[in-house]
Amino acid sequence: MKKHLFKHITQLRVRNYEIDWQGIVHNANYLLFFEVGRIEYLKHIGLKLNLSSIQTDSRVVLVRNEIDYKNSAQFDDLLNIYTRVSYIKNTSFAFEGIIEDETAGRLIAENIAYHVWLHPKTGKPIRVRKDFRDKVGAFEGKNLRLIGEKK
């Protein structure tokens, strides 16, 4: 992934209970870290995400995760989590994420998380909501690909 395309960074410090029996961060925890990045990103661009909105108005589902593991993170590492929305299609969009170790500058893992926007009642895919398009578009600028949109 191209790090210069990312405009949002969150930091996390690896906690001891995230370390597995091999002495490194357990592979499933990176999914949690990328998710922290996405939630901070949404907060940052002004898309409020709280518990009640999620439980009453949940229309966005994660349909696919891809994670490439590059190096292992260790206990007490300070991690930079880069997050961006890379594209928005009609009914779907994708987040990309990069985790790197702040101190050593090593690349730890990369993630693409594919999401689909669903009608809360029918469960059918519907067009990605306008406020999401607008706020992500304003934040990402020309780095955001709008796929299948008429000009």
- Residues of this chain that interact with a copy of itself (CB under 8 A) are 15-17, 19-23, 26-29, 31-32, 35-36, 39, 43, 50-51, 54-55, 58, 61-69, 74-76
Cβ proximity to a copy of itself: between 1 and 36 the closer is 36
Least Å distance between CB 124 and a copy of itself?
15
Least Å distance between CB 13 and a copy of itself?
9
Cβ proximity to a copy of itself: between 35 and 101 the closer is 35
Least Å distance between CB 136 and a copy of itself?
19
The answer to whether residues 88 and 133 touch, using CB atoms and an 8 Å cutoff, is yes
Least Å distance between CB 94 and a copy of itself?
14
Question: In angstroms, what CA-CA distances link 147 with 36, 82, 89?
Answer: 26, 22, 5
Residue 72 CA to residue 74 CA, distance in Å, equals 6
The answer to whether residues 12 and 36 touch, using CB atoms and an 8 Å cutoff, is yes
The answer to whether residues 38 and 95 touch, using CB atoms and an 8 Å cutoff, is yes
Structure token digits, residue 93: 């969009």
